[in-house]
Amino acid sequence: MNQPALAGLDAPERDSVSIVDALIRRGRAAMDAFADSTQARVDEAVTAIAWSLYKPEHAEALAAMAVDDTGLGNAADKIIKNQRKTFGTLRDLMRVKSVGIIEERPELGLVKYAKPVGVVGAVTPSTNPAATPVNKAMMALKGRNAIVIAPSPAGLATTTHAVALMRAELEKVGAPADLVQVLPPPVDKEITNALMAACDLVVVTGSQSNVRAAYRSGTPAIGVGAGNVPVIVDSSADLDAAAAKIAASKCFDNATSCSSENAAIVLDDVYDDAVAALQRAGGYLADAADKEVIQDSLWVDGTLNRRVIAKDFAVLAAECGLGGKARGARFFMVEETGIGPEHPFSDEKLALVLTVYRAKTFDDAVGKVRAIMAVKGRGHSVGIHTRDMAHARRLAEELDTARVLVNMAHTFGNGGGFDSGLNFTLSMGCGTWQGNSISENLNYRHFLNITQLAVPIPEDRPSEDALFGAYWEKYGK
């Protein structure tokens, strides 16, 4: 069930390059053994990977381990995340082809064949030490690739156990266990960088320092960006529905998700009613004194305080000394007017704190969203609660963002949802706006090389006049 031992791990000084090279060799051997698999066989292996986490006792055990190991989030929500993301990703993967001919375009004379990208090096975060490794492994195996996972040091024990469960399930169906491997402890920058340099594709979810390291590695890389989601509550919104969705999304897994709402920008004419709706949904509206205490508790020397981020609300409230006043609440609401480095509440918080802004007009709201994304999260995503689709379309047309979610609980729609057309994933690309190579949700296509077979078609050569005529008429030859 467990990954085979590697020689020399107990030595005082280890050779990270040699350790990684051994993992890569085993991955390539597993790929060779898996190379001739049919689509049905590949899908069976992907299903095995999914079941290794979706199985209720595994989802529960890994959720509890994740919270114990990292101190982030809560076990009940991580169980939901482990199963929901895995189930949704499996749904997506079972509906597509990834072996042999995957597309034919006879009108263009093209036939497309899918090929593996190779051994994938996957860097995964402490926020999702089970769900993200399984999610990436499912996508990698869909393309007949092998994967070596570099966990966050904080999530190492959870990820290692998740990998052991994946390997056991692969062995059960007769697939090579070495299609999924994990770096041995201790996992540090040295061995993670060695993996990035040795693999065929790097896929990074987590810290932006790891994303930048991946792009510097010399290996083709996919990195995703940081979130800091602003959501507009428009004048036409169903305020109670919007508040319920924002609260559910904000509170899920103690706001560990990069898709968690960090700011609500509320139009002036519905501001008081919207804040009241958020209070009914469990928000505690901080006064000026509370706001100062929350800020001092949430940031220490300009850095988010690990004692309170992604912790249960009772822990956060107690740390702020507001347990009595806030008893019964689910999250803090802090009213803010400023945006920028000198206003930390405009930044990502990874905690049960929602910043609330008042916007005079919709133009003002759009401006505030743009300014918030300039602080952090440009390219990631924006939400809006509205009955006016023209407002939603305007956000999509004007803002530097990869996703605009309309009337959704952001955490449950941004990375895929059963009422969202976005594919299930735990890794959201933010485009060149945030220095990423993709501006869509990570998906199985990113783990495929494509060969295009081209045959002659009837000549498709328009006349010069068809292409240049309008230009010549306007500007001359």
Q: How many CA atoms lie within 13 A of 28 on its CB side?
A: 9
Which residue among 199, 258, 320, 430 is the active-site one? 258
Write b or e for each residue in 226-246: b if 16 or more Cβ atoms lie within 10 A of its Cβ, otherwise e. Answer: bbbbbbbbbbebebeebbbbb
Q: In a 10 Å sphere around its CB, with 0-12 CB exposed, 13-18 middle and 19+ buried, how is residue 251 labelled?
A: buried
d(Cα 120, Cα 127) in Å, to the nearest integer?
21
DSSP code at position 341: T
Distances in Å between the alpha carbon of 42 and those of 48, 61, 190? 10, 27, 33
Token representation of residue 129: 């030490």
| DSSP letters spanning 10-64 | TSSS--HHHHHHHHHHHHHHHHHHHTT--HHHHHHHHHHHHHHHHSHHHHHHHHH
Bond prior to 129 in cis (omega within 30° of 0): no
d(Cα 266, Cα 153) in Å, to the nearest integer?
39
What count of other Cβ atoms lies within 10 Å of the Cβ of residue 345? 23
Token representation of residue 423: 């594919």
Is 413 in contact with 422 (CB distance < 8 Å)? Answer: yes
Active-site residue, 251 included: no
**Residue positions annotated with a catalytic role:** 258
